[in-house]
Structure 1
Amino acid sequence: MSKLLLKWDNFGYQNSEIRTALVFGINAENVIIVLQNDEVLALGTNQIYCLGTGVEGEVKELKRIENLCGQRIEGFEFTGVGCLFCLFAICESGSVFSWGGNGYGQLGLGTTGYTQVPTKILGCLEQKKVVQVACGGDHTLALTSEGEVYAFGRNANGELGLGTTDRHFLPQRVGGLLDGKIVTSVACQMDSSLALLRSGQICAWGSNLRGKLGLPSTSVQECSPCMVLGLEGVVIYKIVCGIRFTLALSDDGKIYSWGDNFRGYLGNGTTKIVKRPAIISQEMGRVKDIAATQNLSHPCAAINEKNHVYCWGSCNDQIVEKPMLTSFSSFDEVYVDASPPITYHRFQSKNTNYGRKMKGSVIERFQRAFDNPETTDFAFIVEGKKIHVHKNLLTVGSDVFKNLFLGNWKDSHQKELIVEDHSYDAFYAFLKYFYTDEIDHEIPPELVLDLYSVAHFYQVTDLLDECEKILKSGLSVQIAAAVYEKAILFGAKDLCEFCMKFCKEHLLEVLENFDSDDCKREFILEVYRRAANQKKN
């Protein structure tokens, strides 16, 4: 937990009781904390209702933020100038709540003017799972689990990327060059926007004064996404923005920078403007993470593969034009020491599975090795098709495979095994999980059910947990009975209760989809019994 919380002695809580926290304000005077029990509390000067408690003026003792309690908040994003802040809370479910300053509709609520309490963003995002929010000066970007970008707020320079300069108070999907592409992260300058594609390319739009977008155009603004040039052959892994500049980290650990540089933010040893992406000092070695904020008084920072932290730009009122080795051990320490101090959390959901891994990483090498007949030593045959694997890797991840390959199995010397109880697609996804540690969250629910069965048979508990999360997030009346049946079979009590609660809340829809299937009939009867017992009690 951030050292900033020591100012309040953690409010009497143990570190283990605080799940996450946000500290912000002119002098770090505002605090929001999320407890492990899902309570959300706040205190501070509360400028323009920025704490979301609905109370005007200073909040001197911890007060519940009623609308956020019980919402499983995973992280926060905020922006602010002076005492005017707008804030976003991202939930585990993918819902987003916003509150605070809203003069240009940047909260995405369909209104303007201050919003005193956290309010869920609806419109186009109501049925979407948001995995990241990025804030500009007066505009906002939201990235969904499908890799789509939605924008809202001020648009005087085309920063919403919608082809016009009309402002929008509700989320609007950004199309144009982004159509048909998957975006893995977004970032905002004060009045510009950037999106990182799964291909490792970057798109940018909005104000292009001083060439800060890195585009070939000499126009002062671009109202639709354009491809950033000068990075041909480079795969970008992460992007972050300052107020008028961008840093991009490549998958081989190099930092590229461009834009305004009046305080040395670009780390290239000068304060000159750079209109095209250029590599900054490589004395840091291979870099694994980068950081920046939109506060003019904050430094830029990077962590290399040896976990050394470097800073440059505006460092405690000094201009540092090249990366300087520091004694910090994390970005949180960097920004605790900055002025004003803040907690540094550029939130992005852990459920985002489409992001690229560092080139040459262990996981990427495993990914390339999966189902490669040239390097593997065993094959499963499912529905007449072969899936090639490494026996040693499977034995590490499953005791069932360990007994199969290293035990007294009479055919352990065989090179192939026919699998008859599972579909090819489910078994392929199951084996691929050993190599990637990921599941495609967009696979059909019927396939997830089969994958759930495979994971249970082979006793891969972490995959079971992932399947349960996907089944919960995508549960529908059409598959609720089948999910409930699996949950009963596997003793998954939490998933059973989730199915029951879901069907009680959607009972009319369940009845409309009722048929003669015995499983569904028994399930609906159980829903009725539970509902009747609750009324009696």
Structure 2
Amino acid sequence: MTLERRKLRRSIPILNDLDSYLYQDIKRVFVFGRNSDCVIFITNNDHVYSYGRNNCGCLGIGNDYDNQDLIVEPQKIHRLCGRKIVEFSAGRNHILARSKNGKIFACGSNEFGQLALPLDDYAGSSINIPQQIQSLRNEHIIGIACGAFHSLALTKRGIIYGWGFNFWGQLGLGDNHNRFAPTILRQLQHENIVEIACGQHHSVALSRKGHLFTWGHNAYGQLGIGERINYRNIPTKVIDGNDFIIKQVTCGQNHVLAVSVDGQLLGFGSNYYGQLGTGSRRNESLPVRICLDEKINDILASPFSNTSLARTKKKRNSLVFGKCGDHWLLTPIDTKIIDDNDESINHHRKQQQSSSNSSNSIISLDENNNPLLLRTNFLLEQQKSPTMKKNKSNSHEIFANINQSTAHTTKVVRSNYHHHQNLFWQILYLMKSKLPKIKQHSTTTTTKTFDNDDDHMDQTSGHLNQNRKHFSNGMNKLLNHHRI
């Protein structure tokens, strides 16, 4: 998914103190950590930076910093610079990075083997410089996923490798022993897996035929198998693609969401905060359909969050449900993110305060039909207001506003002129677009004859002034588009 650059500071406050030069150069960003206090971003020249809480050396910046240091200024991750990194995934205290050519790098805590580094050299230690996982160097990895203390990788051939903490069977290997090296999940090696996801201690896989498999911790029903058992250490088919084809899956901390090819939304697992969107707080041990008026296009959750998001096929605003700040949304709410500096919003707030003597927005009802109120830096509105500015948003923007994290590696784009990222080339492009008109005007004026030289000078001057004014207006519009 993507975030527009002009909305980046608003969506991710931790970027507010970033140097303006680096901020303008961000190409991808990943915000993670229990308190969303860790940031990794990639610039346009393929340099990788990180800053924030350096637990167990998970920022990958080397020996010059203690593992528990709070890194205030962005530092280069030299080992990842120039590697064309396209994806990050984070566990409790470890990260994985995937390059465009399918290589994986890991750093942070290796207490349970979640870095898949050689046992003799790195067993139980922390690594503060990313190391390539050599045992997977001959595989082309297309997907990575981290639970709290375990890791999964998906190859181009549709095979899953797992390593790390396996107390709940979250590696799906048929036992509960930790793994310090990538191990093939053989039960699914012929299923042609196309997508993987991890919750805190459970794992999910989606096959090309639309079959959905789960394994690992099941105390809240997050495996969707309908049995009251604490865990299952082998993959179980929860949804058969021959009956109901699934096209996308995502995991929250202890719940799972899935979308079918016809736009239906399903969920199962923990529902304490309403993260299944069923209107109650009852956990679901079997997949349940979440009744919505519109068809769903994609979904978003995070292994360390109890917030769920779903975007409709219209791809405008997103539906949010689950934990939202200090409150719980038991049913999906259509959201619009509104800029706090917008005068129309300030006017709307004044109207709201005068009518209800409160600056809160009623967004959901609890089990006793009492209104739940939300105090945040943005408004979630159920009804359209004529005073409100219409504003497009996406799932990542809403997720970042609620949780201060991006959940996944997010691509940063410009809202306009994004095909010409450098300002110099944009100016040149604008000049070239005007050259034919100027050239045509020049040829026509030279062929004309004038009885008086003063008339010639007046008319030529008038045309030149008109061209200057036209070019100046274009330049002003261009520069206004790039003001953050």
TM bucket, shorter chain = 0.5 to 0.7
Q: Gaps spanning 5+ residues in structure 2: where?
A: 338-392, 412-484
Using the TM superposition, give the Cα deviation of residue 218 of structure 1 relative to its aligned residue in structure 2, in angstroms: 4.7
SS in 1 for 2:402: coil
List per-residue Cα deviations over 1:236-259 (Å, max 9, x = no partner).
000001111100011111110011
Q: Give yes or no for contact 1:287–1:305 (8 Å, CA) kept in 2.
A: yes
Question: Within 1, Cα distance between the matches of 2:240 and 2:85?
Answer: 39
Q: Structure 1 pair 34/322, CA: closer, same or farther in 2 (3 Å)? A: same
Give the structure 1 partner of residue 72 of structure 2: 60
* Aligned partner of 1:205 among 212, 215, 230: 215
Q: Gaps spanning 5+ residues in structure 1: where?
A: 349-537
Using the TM superposition, give the Cα deviation of residue 330 of structure 1 relative to its aligned residue in structure 2, in angstroms: 1.3
- The residue type equivalent to 1:96 in the other structure is I
Question: Within 2, Cα distance between the matches of 1:225 and 1:27?
Answer: 31
Counting only pairs closer than 5 Å after superposition, residues 381-400 of structure 1 correspond to structure 2 as none
Counting only pairs closer than 5 Å after superposition, residues 112-511 of structure 1 correspond to structure 2 as 112-123=124-135, 125-176=136-187, 178-229=188-239, 233-283=243-293, 285-296=294-305, 298-306=306-314, 307-328=316-337, 329-339=393-403, 341-345=404-408
SS in 2 for 1:337: helix
Using the TM superposition, give the Cα deviation of residue 64 of structure 1 relative to its aligned residue in structure 2, in angstroms: 1.4
SS in 2 for 1:147: coil
Q: Give yes or no for contact 1:77–1:347 (8 Å, CA) kept in 2.
A: no
Q: Give yes or no for contact 2:271–2:284 (8 Å, CA) kept in 1.
A: yes
Question: Within 1, Cα distance between the matches of 2:134 and 2:52?
Answer: 28
Identity of aligned residues (%): 30
Question: Within 2, Cα distance between the matches of 1:347 and 1:164?
Answer: 35
Q: Structure 1 pair 28/215, CA: closer, same or farther in 2 (3 Å)? A: closer
List per-residue Cα deviations over 1:313-334 (Å, max 9, x = no partner).
0012111111001104112221
Using the TM superposition, give the Cα deviation of residue 59 of structure 1 relative to its aligned residue in structure 2, in angstroms: 2.8
Question: Within 2, Cα distance between the matches of 1:260 and 1:153?
Answer: 24
TM-score for both structures, normalised by structure 1 = 0.60
List per-residue Cα deviations over 1:44-65 (Å, max 9, x = no partner).
2323222110122233323211
Counting only pairs closer than 5 Å after superposition, residues 72-151 of structure 1 correspond to structure 2 as 72-80=84-92, 85-110=93-118, 111-123=123-135, 125-151=136-162
Answer 1 or 2: which has greater helix percent: 1
Using the TM superposition, give the Cα deviation of residue 27 of structure 1 relative to its aligned residue in structure 2, in angstroms: 4.7
- The residue type equivalent to 1:227 in the other structure is K
Question: Within 2, Cα distance between the matches of 1:66 and 1:14?
Answer: 16
Q: Give yes or no for contact 1:253–1:288 (8 Å, CA) kept in 2.
A: yes
- The residue type equivalent to 2:89 in the other structure is E
Q: Structure 1 pair 160/7, CA: closer, same or farther in 2 (3 Å)? A: closer
Question: Within 2, Cα distance between the matches of 1:331 and 1:70?
Answer: 29
Using the TM superposition, give the Cα deviation of residue 100 of structure 1 relative to its aligned residue in structure 2, in angstroms: 1.1
Give the structure 1 partner of residue 482 of structure 2: none
Matching of residue 7 in structure 1 with residue 5 in structure 2 = no
Using the TM superposition, give the Cα deviation of residue 9 of structure 1 relative to its aligned residue in structure 2, in angstroms: 5.3
**How many pairs are equivalent?**
339
Q: Structure 1 pair 132/109, CA: closer, same or farther in 2 (3 Å)? A: same
Using the TM superposition, give the Cα deviation of residue 74 of structure 1 relative to its aligned residue in structure 2, in angstroms: 0.8
Question: Within 1, Cα distance between the matches of 2:42 and 2:409?
Answer: 16
Question: Within 1, Cα distance between the matches of 2:253 and 2:329?
Answer: 17
SS in 2 for 1:338: helix
Question: Within 1, Cα distance between the matches of 2:33 and 2:167?
Answer: 27
Question: Within 2, Cα distance between the matches of 1:24 and 1:212?
Answer: 23
Using the TM superposition, give the Cα deviation of residue 221 of structure 1 relative to its aligned residue in structure 2, in angstroms: 2.3
Counting only pairs closer than 5 Å after superposition, residues 11-30 of structure 1 correspond to structure 2 as 11-13=19-21, 17-30=25-38
Q: Structure 1 pair 6/47, CA: closer, same or farther in 2 (3 Å)? A: closer
Using the TM superposition, give the Cα deviation of residue 153 of structure 1 relative to its aligned residue in structure 2, in angstroms: 0.6
Give the structure 2 partner of residue 520 of structure 1: none
Q: Higher relative contact order at CA 8 Å, sep ≥6: structure 1 or structure 2?
A: 2
Q: Structure 1 pair 36/210, CA: closer, same or farther in 2 (3 Å)? A: closer
* Aligned partner of 2:56 among 40, 48, 59: 48
Q: Give yes or no for contact 1:281–1:323 (8 Å, CA) kept in 2.
A: no
